[in-house]
Structure 1
Amino acid sequence: MKRKAKILLVDDDASLLKLLGLRLKSEGFEVGTATSGAEALEWLERDRPDLVLSDLKMDGMDGLALFDRIQRAHVGLPVVIMTAHGSITDAVTATRSGVFGFLTKPIDKEALRKTINEALAVSLPADEDDWQHSILTRSPAMAAVLEQARRIAPLDISVLITGPSGAGKELLAKAIHDASPRRDYPFIALNCAALPEQLLESELFGHVKGAFTGAISDHPGIFLAAHGGTLFLDEIGDMPPALQVKLLRALEQQEVRPLGSTRNVRTDVRILSATNRDLVAAMEEGRFREDLFYRLNVVNLALPPLRERPEDIPLLARHFLEQIRQRQATQVTGFAPEALAMLAAANWPGNVRQLLNVVEQAVALASAPVIGAQLVETILAGNSDHFPTFNEARAEFERVYLNKVLRMTDGNVTQAASLAGRNRTDFYKLLNRHGIEAGAYKDKGD
């Protein structure tokens, strides 16, 4: 039987504390209460809840100060802030510091339920069948991608994952595999840009002894090694044209012929692929086969860049710090709120991979247990030399523009196309190119 989720309520208004506690208990939660930040910290020394729901304005220690103390001692524990004095400034400060959510009193019942469910989805231990447990997010944009991924995971179809370098495409591919009927079979990843053409062909399809210089023994290739499971082809846009033909043939015939062999071997793999390139432009320029593109792009999932997921940055930074603490001895225990705010406001051209690198540098260079804003600023300044290519900049502009017009029109494609000066057919093609669903922008009120 699944245990009840445990929530700690913190408010200096005893009557509201009692009322809200009764409401949450009626919803099936186990509830603890504290009338001050100090009492809450004492409670946390005895027990660990799954969520802390705290008032912002309290005598002595306010909600944000309590949050900072909690995050230093209980990394990753989500905190939701409530206030009767809500303002945009408070909300921005809270969320940039890493607070999970921000609710204004009087508390709306549906908003409270929604925020609690989203927070518990992050903090509760993952079940064995929790396919996305390795993807940490609080972002609505990422939640939409994960919902698409969950729906298509059981279907034995090819998926093309697009997005900038370092955004987590392989992590999403592994999550899809884990949610699929193939989860008990191999998941094998190959970076198509990492090997010269002949070695890439050998890795894909295998070779027999003596097939080419340096081959000293038979090699089955990853198509056969992944038999029954999933093959993830990263940077598929960098695959040489000659290999594109052979890959298409292998997918259509469901068999491969190793280099140097005279017979074909049957295969059973699901193909997931990824690219940070504009494959539509590559097709138009003759660098990528149209028939292969449509074979791979049965479903497109577009990962947002990290700068569009600022609410994820404090969560990921603390997660990376905890991983580092588990691997090595370090005095560093957390981030100052100003440091987290600076991380959340950064541009992150290298996405999640760059954030990990910055956290690793900060831990290595920190001279105190808490990483401060000055150190983060220095590290970020040394990581600011990335300049996007023309294709990257054009694709990024298109994607941001399309999202903006859809938000302005609440997902009405006819109105959005009119604003963009395009006909509906061309507009739909643009949406498909970037993996954007207009329906995600409809009925957003709550």
Structure 2
Amino acid sequence: MLNSVTVVDDEASIRSAVEQWLNLSGFQVQLFSRAQECLAQLPRDFPGVILSDVRMPGISGLELLAEVQRQDPDLPVILLTGHGDVPMAVEAMRDGAYDFLEKPFSPDTLLSSLRRALDKRGLVLENRRLHQQADSRAKLDATLLGVSQALQTLRRQVLELAPLPVNVLVRGETGSGKELIARCLHDFGPRAGKPFVALNCAAIPEQLFEAELFGHESGAFTGAQGKRIGKLEYAHGGTLFLDEIESMPLAQQVKLLRVLQEQKLERLGSNQSITVDLRIIAATKPDLLEEARAGRFREDLAYRLTVAELRLPPLRERREDIPLLYAHFAHHAALRLGRKAAPLGGPQLGRLLSHDWPGNVRELANAAERQVLGLQEPQAEAVDSGQSLAAQQEAFEAQCLRAALTRHKGEIKAVLNELQLPRRTLNEKMQRHGLSREMFVKNS
């Protein structure tokens, strides 16, 4: 339940009396003597109500109302007026004020108006939150492509973890999209407007690692010309993505752990502590705790990084996503190269589904680009998938159903005609594969 009230009045006695009444009634109160001060500290989506006098030095209550209306038309403003200001206050209500109270007013009248205003504000903010969730879900669906249950679960986990101030470990095979997941965790969270800094721990020579991570002052070591900001400091306020974290030298693991514990660092060649506020998202192929047990990684750092863990399934475990991903990569390759992407035929689709994709999504994207360039048919040489024939047939059938439902935007009659199936058979197959007409009508 919302209970925040901002009071703006140039009379100290009024501020003191109102604060006393509201505190006794369980409200959180913030006091300002000038409207300018209130506007300077007014947060976006303020979870409360503004209670303001009309006549004040500088910016008046009416001017405050106009500015609040410009910033957030749904933020309730209750005006406090003298007897002669009543006609003005009535006009202000036409301009968007929530209510006005004529001085002197009773505590009960004030509390009644505030509670109604706070109830309204609560509904507005809840509605905004639901809309933002829906928008985020739609944007994430367009970024993390896939119809498999594994991808649906992964998208849900990303949306749940993105707003939380916790470090995340992303596990997955080479080419499975770990950096894309890290980017989504950043972009869909509160740090989205701040830096996203990526560092591949396996690509940096050990003797340069500390300078790369912590930065250095001029002359800190031979060749250190000028001051350099390290990745940790550069990511202040945002996210640092450490790919192949298992490759980080043990000596640097100790120093990274200290930064995570103290939220401070020192550049090489400096004794000055610099405060850093950042979120660490690390990525690894092996199990980091197993690496720690084998003595190849610090166990205390592993636990610090693995507050939450996301596992990216390899492409061979979500074969039903392959046609959608392939079409996406082929379309973008065709746009970039000025070529035309040929539609997939049945034999080509079968080869895509039967390939094992050891390079995962990265390999699939490369295959799509080569096909657009006319350098090869999609996976002309199929690799044993390790799945039974029945499992591969199920995956192929599911993809055919999705493709037809997508083409016809969930129009069942058109799907029946195209696939030449009885209605009952189509219903049974859709149910078995977790498909519904609404999924395709909504996304059309």
Q: Given the two structures, how large is their TM-score scaled by the length of structure 2?
A: 0.54
Specify the alignment match of 1:332 in structure 2.
341
In structure 2, the residue corresponding to 1:355 is in which secondary structure? helix
Partners of 2:316 and 2:276 in 1: how far apart?
40
Partner of 1:251: 260
> Do residues 301 (structure 1) and 310 (structure 2) align?
yes
Contact 2:140 2:155 in 1 (8 A): no
Q: Is the 8 A contact 1:174 1:187 kept in 2?
A: yes
Alignment of 1:327-366 (within 5 A): 327-366=336-375
The aligned counterpart of 2:378 is 376
Q: CA deviation at 1:332?
A: 3.5
Instruction: Give the distance between the partners of 1:213 and 1:165, measured in 2 at CA.
Output: 36
Q: Per-residue deviation at 1:157?
A: 0.4
- For 1:205-220, list aligned pairs within 5 A: 205-220=214-229
- TM-superposed deviation, 1:201: 1.7
Q: Assess, with a 3 A threshold, how the Cα gap between structure 1 residues 286 and 147 changes in structure 2: closer, same or farther.
A: same
* Deviations, residues 254-276 of structure 1 (Å, cap 9, x unaligned): 01111111212110001111100
Question: 1:289: how far off?
Answer: 0.6
| Aligned equivalent of 1:231 | 240
Residue 193 of structure 2 is aligned to residue 184 of structure 1: yes
Query: Any idea what SS the aligned residue of 2:237 has?
Result: coil
Q: Which digits, 9 at most, give the CA deviation of each residue in 1:201-227, with x for residues without a partner?
A: 212111112223332221111111111
In the alignment, which residue of structure 1 is the partner of 2:115?
A: none
**1:271 and 2:273 correspond:** no
Look up the match of 2:152. 143
Q: Structure 1 residues 128 and 160, CA, compared in 2 at 3 Å: closer, same or farther?
A: closer
**Any idea what SS the aligned residue of 1:330 has?**
coil
Q: Given residue 133 of structure 1, which amino acid in structure 2 is its aligned partner?
A: A
Residue range with higher mean Cα deviation, 167-176 or 335-344: 335-344
Instruction: Tell me whether 1:174 sits opposite 2:176 in the alignment.
Output: no
Instruction: For 2:137 and 2:288, locate their aligned partners in 1 and report how far apart those are by CA, in whole Å.
Output: 36
Q: How has the CA–CA distance of structure 1 residues 131 and 315 changed in structure 2, closer, same or farther, with 3 Å as cutoff?
A: closer
Match of 2:331 among 322, 337, 347: 322
Structure 2 match to 1:77 = none
5 Å-filtered alignment, 1:13-28, equals: none
**Any idea what SS the aligned residue of 1:274 has?**
strand
Shift of 1:129: 7.8
Amino acid at match of 2:217: V
Equivalent AA in structure 2 for residue 359 of structure 1: A
Residues 177 and 328 of structure 1: CA distance in aligned 2, closer, same or farther (over 3 Å): same
Q: CA deviation at 1:380?
A: 5.8
Equivalent in the alignment of 2:168: 159
Partner residue of 1:260 out of 262, 266, 269 = 269
- SS of equivalent to 1:272: strand
Task: Output aligned runs, 1:362-441, within 5 Å.
Answer: 362-366=371-375, 375-378=377-380
Residue in structure 2 matched with residue 402 of structure 1 by the alignment = none
Aligned residues: 254
Correspondence 1:284 to 2:286: no
- Residue deviations 1:23-73, cap 9 Å, x none? xxxxxxxxxxxxxxxxxxxxxxxxxxxxxxxxxxxxxxxxxxxxxxxxxxx
* CA distance in 2: counterparts of 1:353 and 1:270, whole angstroms: 26
Identity %: 46
SS in 2 for 1:232: strand
The answer to whether the 8 Å contact 2:351/2:380 transfers is: no
Counterpart of 1:240, as a letter, is: P
Q: CA deviation at 1:179?
A: 1.4
Q: Which residue of 2 aligns with 1:198?
A: 207
* CA deviation string 1:179-205 (max 9, x = no partner): 111111111111111101232221211
Amino acid at match of 1:165: T
Q: Matches of 1:273 and 1:132 in 2, distance apart?
A: 23
Listed as ranges, the gaps of 5+ residues in structure 1 are 1-124, 385-443
Q: 2:138, 2:347 → 1: CA distance?
A: 37
Q: Where does residue 57 of structure 2 map in the other structure?
A: none
Between the aligned partners of 1:290 and 1:128, the Cα distance in structure 2 is: 35
> Higher relative CO (CA 8 A, sep ≥ 6), structure 1 or 2?
1
